[in-house]
Amino acid sequence: MDSTAAPITKSAAAKLVKRNFLEALKSNDFGKLKAILIQRQIDVDTVFEVEDENMVLASYKQGYWLPSYKLKSSWATGLHLSVLFGHVECLLVLLDHNATINCRPNGKTPLHVACEMANLDCVKILCDRGAKLNCYSLSGHTALHFCTTPSSILCAKQLVWRGANVNMKTNNQDEETPLHTAAHFGLPELVAFYVEHGAVVDSVNAHMETPLATATYWALRFKEQEFSREHHLICRMLLDYKAEVNARDDDFKTPLHKAAWNCDHVLMHMMLEAGAEANLMDINGCAAIQYVLKVTSVRPAARPEICYQLLLNHGAARIYPPQFHKVIQACHSCPKAIEVVVNAYEHIRWNVKWKRAIPDDDLE
């Protein structure tokens, strides 16, 4: 009986090499990786399908329909995986063997991944080797737009020092600058850095929102119903940088409208003191005081009575007396707010609508 093993097929051999290559990348076995590449057993830009539930490696255009499996795995080259795992030695080996530094097998370049992973060493190496600083991902973001956490601030600084454009807008339906992104994610240090390096303070996105408006809106953590000190600080900084406090978006909302929607008395006070006009109306004819009225009952962490007092002190028009029952309807759970609003009138006549505006449970 012939005991000689059957010869391995070319396809099976290729799969084996690919598996060994991937294992070397994952374990940071750069010696094994180098040996495989020297023997030219595999293309240095071979693309792998790997698990990626958090979509760190993937980037898709807005509006794309995606099958469910797409959201759990991504395509990536060895460069992307080296950056993902933080394996600097493997990264250097691949670059020494002329790996394509700006490839986007699943929409992101290795530099995009490095910024999202906040890996400063990888960012420096990729920049040294010629990575494009202003290259867009498939979703239309540059590397600076992927710097969204405190740990990635140094990556953003490195990019700007090397020439990244601080005013480059996303190539998508939002058209946001890196300053909008820093304001959104509450990164005051990065906001200051961008402005010091030429970022336009009153740049607008596709919705005509300035960074001040963005920071104001995101100052409320909606899930926790808590206000963010970092966002408050950013608003203070932007106002000190002479941001336009009455800038209006495409719905004619000012930053004051957004602060009122959050029932954020800290930002409302800050903006009114900086010259915000209390009676400016949005596209629906609503001033800031109407915004506070709409959300009084759903902002448990807020102090609506202070919001009303601030607006009235700065010349906000009082609620039309025949409509005062709407104040009671909105604020019946916050008597202090009703007290502030009613004290703005010299006199006001009670009517039966007031009683009807209060739920029976609260009346009892």
Per-residue model confidence as pLDDT tens digits over 14-45: 788 889 889 999 998 899 999 988 988 889 99
- Plot region of 285 (φ>0 → left; ψ -120 to 50 → alpha; else → beta): left
Min mean pLDDT across 157-171, 173-187, 317-331, 350-364 is at 350-364
Q: Of all residues in the chain, what percent carry a pLDDT higher than 70? A: 93
Superfamily in which the 14-165 domain is placed by CATH: Ankyrin repeat-containing domain (1.25.40.20)
Q: What is the pLDDT, as a whole number, of residue 41? A: 83
Q: Average the pLDDT over 54-61 and give the result.
A: 88
The pLDDT-based confidence of 6 (bands split at 50, 70, 90) is: low
Min mean pLDDT across 11-15, 135-139, 249-253 is at 11-15
- Plot region of 33 (φ>0 → left; ψ -120 to 50 → alpha; else → beta): alpha
Q: Average the pLDDT over 93-114 and give the result.
A: 96
Q: Average the pLDDT over 134-152 and give the result.
A: 98
Does residue 231 carry a pLDDT above 90?
A: yes
Does residue 364 carry a pLDDT above 60?
A: no
Mean pLDDT of the chain: 91
Q: What is the pLDDT, as a whole number, of residue 1? A: 44
